[in-house]
Structure 1
Amino acid sequence: MGRRWILLVSLGIYVASMQYLAKADLPAIFIFGDSIADVGTNNFLKSLARANYPYHGIDFPNSKPTGRFSNGYHTIDFIAKQFGYNSSPPPFLSLLQHNLSFKSNILRGVNFASAGAGILDPTGIQLYVSFSHSFLVFFKVGMIVGRKYISQNEYAHIRVPLYVRICQKIMFLQFLWPFLLKEFIKKVQEAGIEEKLVTHPWDVVSLRDQIKQFETVCGNITEVLGASKGNSLLSNSLYLITIGSNDIFDYQHSLRSRAIPPQTFLATLHDTCQPFEVTQSIYYQHNDLEFESQTILIYTMVEDLYNLGARKFGIISVPPIGCCPFQRFLKRSEDGGCFEELNNLAQAFYDAIRDVLTNFSTEFVEVKYSFGNAYAMTTSIIHNPLTFGFKEIKTACCGNGTFNGEEECNPNSKLCPNRDDYLFWDWFHPTEAASELAALTLYGGGNEFVTPMNLSQLATIPIGI
Structure 2
Amino acid sequence: MLIAKVILFCVYVSVRLSKSDGGLILQKNVSVSAVFVFGDSFADQGNNNYINTLAKANFPPYGVDFMGGTPTGRFSNGKTLSDFLVKALGVKDYLPASLDPLLKDKDLQTGVSFGSAASGFDPKTSTITSTIPMSVQSKMFKEYIVALKKNIGEEPANNIITSSVVVVVAGNNDLILSRRLQHDVLDYPNMLVQLILNFLQEIYTLGVRRIVVFSAPPIGCFPDVRTLVGGPERRCVNEENNVAQLFNSILKQQLQFWRTSFPQLRVAYIDYYNPLISIIENPQKYGFDVADKGCCGTGEIEVTYLCNKLTSTCPDHSKYFFWDGFHLSEKGNSVIVNHILQDLVDALF
- Shorter-chain TM-score: what band? 0.7 to 0.9
CA contact (8 A) 2:120 2:173 kept: yes
Rounded Cα–Cα distance in structure 2 between residues aligned with 1:337 and 1:348: 20
Rounded Cα–Cα distance in structure 2 between residues aligned with 1:411 and 1:322: 27
CA contact (8 A) 2:48 2:56 kept: yes
| Residue 211 in structure 1 maps to residue 138 in structure 2 | yes
CA contact (8 A) 1:311 1:368 kept: yes
CA contact (8 A) 1:55 1:411 kept: yes
Task: Provide TM-score, normalisation by structure 1.
Answer: 0.66
C-alpha deviation, 1:413, in angstroms: 1.6
State the structure with more CA Rg. 1
What is the CA deviation profile of residues 169-221 of structure 1, one whole-angstrom value per residue up to 9, with x for unaligned ones?
A: xxxxxxxxxxxxxxxxxxxxxxxxxxxxxxxxxx3111000000000111122
Describe the shift of the 1:59–1:218 C-alpha distance in structure 2 as closer, same or farther (beyond 3 A).
Answer: same
Equivalence for 1:237: 164
Describe the shift of the 1:313–1:71 C-alpha distance in structure 2 as closer, same or farther (beyond 3 A).
Answer: same
CA contact (8 A) 1:36 1:74 kept: yes
Match of 2:119 among 109, 117, 120: 117
| Residue 405 in structure 1 maps to residue 301 in structure 2 | yes
| Residue 21 in structure 1 maps to residue 27 in structure 2 | yes
| Residue 416 in structure 1 maps to residue 336 in structure 2 | no
Match of 2:79 among 73, 78, 103: 73
Task: Give the alignment of 1:405-444 within 5 angstroms.
Answer: 405=301, 408-444=306-342
Instruction: Give the % identical residues.
Output: 30
CA contact (8 A) 1:396 1:426 kept: yes
CA RMSD of aligned residues (A): 2.3
- More deviation, 235-244/331-340: 331-340
Rounded Cα–Cα distance in structure 2 between residues aligned with 1:241 and 1:112: 10
Task: Give the alignment of 1:180-199 within 5 angstroms.
Answer: none
CA contact (8 A) 2:95 2:111 kept: yes
Describe the shift of the 1:457–1:405 C-alpha distance in structure 2 as closer, same or farther (beyond 3 A).
Answer: same
**Structure that is richer in helix per residue:** 1
Unaligned 5+ segments in structure 1 are 1-12, 128-202, 255-259, 278-296, 445-453
- More deviation, 113-122/224-233: 224-233
Describe the shift of the 1:343–1:106 C-alpha distance in structure 2 as closer, same or farther (beyond 3 A).
Answer: same
Equivalence for 2:53: 47
C-alpha deviation, 1:406, in angstroms: 5.3
C-alpha deviation, 1:25, in angstroms: 2.8
What is the CA deviation profile of residues 59-81 of structure 1, one whole-angstrom value per residue up to 9, with x for unaligned ones?
A: 11211111011011101100111
| SS class of match (2:269) | strand
Equivalence for 1:358: 256
Unaligned 5+ segments in structure 2 are 1-16
CA contact (8 A) 1:23 1:83 kept: no
Equivalence for 2:243: 345
C-alpha deviation, 1:253, in angstroms: 5.2
Describe the shift of the 1:430–1:362 C-alpha distance in structure 2 as closer, same or farther (beyond 3 A).
Answer: same
The amino acid that maps onto 1:233 is: I
What is the CA deviation profile of residues 133-190 of structure 1, one whole-angstrom value per residue up to 9, with x for unaligned ones?
A: xxxxxxxxxxxxxxxxxxxxxxxxxxxxxxxxxxxxxxxxxxxxxxxxxxxxxxxxxx
The amino acid that maps onto 2:345 is: S
C-alpha deviation, 1:237, in angstroms: 0.6
Equivalence for 1:37: 43
Task: Give the alignment of 1:263-412 within 5 angstroms.
Answer: 264-270=184-190, 276-277=193-194, 297-400=195-298, 403-405=299-301, 408-412=306-310
C-alpha deviation, 1:332, in angstroms: 4.6
CA contact (8 A) 1:76 1:439 kept: no
C-alpha deviation, 1:356, in angstroms: 2.9
Rounded Cα–Cα distance in structure 2 between residues aligned with 1:219 and 1:34: 24
What is the CA deviation profile of residues 282-332 of structure 1, one whole-angstrom value per residue up to 9, with x for unaligned ones?
A: xxxxxxxxxxxxxxx322211110110011001111110111111111125
CA contact (8 A) 1:23 1:84 kept: no
The amino acid that maps onto 2:141 is: F
The amino acid that maps onto 1:430 is: L
| Residue 251 in structure 1 maps to residue 149 in structure 2 | no
C-alpha deviation, 1:225, in angstroms: 4.0
| Residue 82 in structure 1 maps to residue 88 in structure 2 | yes
Rounded Cα–Cα distance in structure 2 between residues aligned with 1:265 and 1:332: 20
The amino acid that maps onto 1:456 is: V
Equivalence for 2:6: none
| SS class of match (2:126) | coil
| SS class of match (1:427) | coil
